[in-house]
């Protein structure tokens, strides 16, 4: 028994040192040499500071709406709702989002609404949405801003991020950056 306990204690101490001291120190050091010292991408716009890697709430009709958040976009407590697809309260929330979207976007069929506009992400802080989520909102924004739909679509294409290395993940659009570009286009 002594033969196994001493190696187990040594392995435990080694694991604690590696995983609570060495590994975090390496990650911290890498962050210090990365842009903005690992604090994420900071964007200054209209005397406000935003983090582009944290979802923001946009609900005004003249902006692209963000993906819903189960944590009200609070970065201090990220997380999903933990409600399953059969939960009645969850289904009511999703239906309310669908109804609101259809009311504000006449001419869009229910089947055209991408899932990322009516369901929250696992973290509740997803800053991106799909290209389809942007395109389905283009007409509403064009009408509210009195800009042609073609210009809105050009803005969508210009702000579309391609998959990592052209392979990993889908095309996506950062909602904050897209809305800032929209303000710049409108001269706001």
Domain ranges of the chain: 1-39, 40-186
Summarize pLDDT for 126-163 with one digit per residue, the tens.
899 999 999 999 999 999 999 999 999 999 999 999 98
Contacts of 92 (CB under 8 A, 6+ apart): none
Q: Is the pLDDT of residue 11 over 70?
A: yes
pTM: 0.78
24 in Cβ contact with 139 (< 8 Å): no
SS (H, E, C) 95-126: HHHHHHHHHHCCCCCHHHCCHHHCCCCCCCCC
Bridge pairing between strands 160-161 and 128-129: unpaired
Contacts of 63 (CB under 8 A, 6+ apart): 141, 179, 182
């Amino acid at each position: 028994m002594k033969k196994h306990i001493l190696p187990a204690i040594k392995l435990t101490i080694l694991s604690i040192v590696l995983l609570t001291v060495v590994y975090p120190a390496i990650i911290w050091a890498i962050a210090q040499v990365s842009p903005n010292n690992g604090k994420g991408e900071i964007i200054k716009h209209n005397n406000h500071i935003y983090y582009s890697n944290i979802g923001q709430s946009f609900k005004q009709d003249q902006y692209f709406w963000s993906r819903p958040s189960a944590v009200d976009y609070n970065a201090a407590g990220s997380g999903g709702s933990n409600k399953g697809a059969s939960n009645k309260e969850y289904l009511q929330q999703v239906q309310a989002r669908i109804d609101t979207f259809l009311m504000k976007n006449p001419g869009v069929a229910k089947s055209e609404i991408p899932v990322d506009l009516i369901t929250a992400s696992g973290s509740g802080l997803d800053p991106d949405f799909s290209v389809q989520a942007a395109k389905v909102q283009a007409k509403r924004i064009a009408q509210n801003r009195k800009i042609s739909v073609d210009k809105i679509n050009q803005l969508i294409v210009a702000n579309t991020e391609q998959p990592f290395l052209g392979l990993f993940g889908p095309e996506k659009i950062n909602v904050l950056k897209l809305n800032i570009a929209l303000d710049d286009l409108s001269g706001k």
